[in-house]
Amino acid sequence: EVQLVESGGGLVQPGGSLRLSCAASGFTFRIYAMTWVRQAPGKGLEWVSAISGTGFTTYYADSVKGRFTISRDNSNNTVYLEMNSLRAGDTALYFCARDRNPSDHWGQGILVTVSS
Amino acid sequence: QSVLTQPPSASGTPGQSVTISCSGSASNIGSNIVNWYQQFPGTAPKLLIKNDDQRPPGVPERFSASKTGTSASLAISGLQSEDEADYYCAAWDYRLNGDVFGTGTKVTVL
Chain A neighbors of B50, CB-CB under 8 A: 102, 104
DSSP per-residue codes, B12-76: E-TT--EEEEEE--TTTTTTS-EEEEEE-TTS--EEEEBTTTBPPTT--TTEEEEEETTEEEEEE
Paired residues of A109 in beta bridges: none
- Compute φ and ψ for A59, nearest 5 degrees: -135, 145
Amino acid at A102: P
Contact (CB<8Å) B102/A44: yes
With beta carbons less than 8 A apart as the criterion, state whether B96 and B2 touch.
Answer: no
Instruction: Quote the pLDDT of residue B3.
Output: 86
Q: What is the pLDDT of residues B74-84, one digit of tens each?
A: 999 999 999 99
Instruction: Quote the pLDDT of residue A93.
Output: 98
A68/B contact by beta carbon, under 8 A: no
With beta carbons less than 8 A apart as the criterion, state whether B74 and B85 touch.
Answer: no
Task: Provide the pLDDT confidence category of residue B2 given band limits of 50, 70 and 90.
Answer: confident
Chain B residue set in contact with A, beta carbons under 8 Å: 2, 32-33, 35, 37, 39, 43-47, 50-51, 56, 86, 88, 90-92, 96-104
Instruction: Quote the pLDDT of residue A6.
Output: 98
Task: Provide the pLDDT confidence category of residue B1 given band limits of 50, 70 and 90.
Answer: low
Closest to A98 (Cα-Cα) out of A83, A112, A78: A78
Whole-angstrom Cα distance, residue B44 to residue B9? 20
Residue of chain B whose Cα is closest to the Cα of A104: B47
Instruction: Quote the pLDDT of residue B19.
Output: 98
Whole-angstrom Cα distance, residue A83 to residue A66? 10
Whole-angstrom Cα distance, residue A22 to residue A108? 10
A102/B contact by beta carbon, under 8 A: yes
Task: Map residue A21 onto helix, strand or coil.
Answer: strand
Instruction: Quote the pLDDT of residue B35.
Output: 98
**For chain B, percent of residues with pLDDT exceeding 70:** 99
With beta carbons less than 8 A apart as the criterion, state whether B55 and B67 touch.
Answer: no
Q: What is the pLDDT of residues B35-74, one digit of tens each?
A: 999 999 999 999 999 999 999 999 999 999 999 999 999 9
Rounded to the nearest angstrom, the gap between the alpha carbon of residue B23 and the centroid of all alpha carbons in its chain is 11
Amino acid at B103: T
Cβ-Cβ contacts under 8 Å between A and B: the total is 62
Q: Exposed (0-12), middle (13-18) or buried (19+): which is B22, by Cβ within 10 Å? A: buried
| Average pLDDT for runs of 10 along chain A of length 116 | 98 98 98 98 97 97 97 98 98 97 96 97
